[in-house]
Amino acid sequence: MASVGSCVRGAPAARRQVVRQRWVEMDTGRVERVIRVNRAAVLLQLVLLVACLGVVYLLPVRRPSHPGIILSLMGVFALYLIWPMFRACATGVAVEITNLGLVNHTGGVTFVGWDEIHAARIGSPWGQKVVELDLHNPEVVLQRISSIRGWSIRSYVKKFGGTPSIYAYVAEGGAEAVLAEIQRKLGVSGAV
């Protein structure tokens, strides 16, 4: 079994990429363009996370006997959910545009094929600009997201009517740059 970034069927590593998701290797295609990560935006997310945990801790509510334990668990879970942004910060890559689709490294959906995208638009469900994807079959794309993060995103989409998204606010150029690349690949002009 090949590892992430290894060659596929003898193709040069620079031209082909393999992504291991849910214990299955997936050929994501030849990388055509890389949208870099905005490290300042990732740092802002960390500061906001710490501020939110501080506000929760300082709220004047009846506290359990060990409030530090609950706050620590909330902090660990929150860090786990935003971990892809920090990993993207380390690699410097937010989104890769390939000939077969896009590979998102910022959290949310992972690999989405061009044939799976019906439309895309900029949304702001939690105050941050994201690229919301209108997918032909969202369940197929959502099943590629593994672990607790995948479960939470699938629950958000199924139970609460959320939209599969790319957290493009941490990409250089923001959601507008990511949307422009998606529209270019889909052959769409103007806002969708």
Confidence at 115, pLDDT banded by 50, 70, 90:
very high
Give the domain extent around 115: 30-36+93-186
- Does residue 9 carry a pLDDT above 80? no
- Tokens 């139970």 correspond to 159
pLDDT average, residue stretch 56-65: 69
160 lies in a domain?
Answer: yes
Do 159 and 82 lie in one domain? The reply is no
pLDDT of residue 15: 43
Do 62 and 136 lie in one domain? The reply is no
| Token pair belonging to 116 | 């799976």
Least confident span in 12-21, 60-69, 162-171 = 12-21
Do 60 and 121 lie in one domain? The reply is no
Q: How far apart are the first and last CA of the chain?
A: 39
Do 69 and 100 lie in one domain? The reply is no
Global confidence as pTM: 0.71
> How many domains are contained in the chain?
2
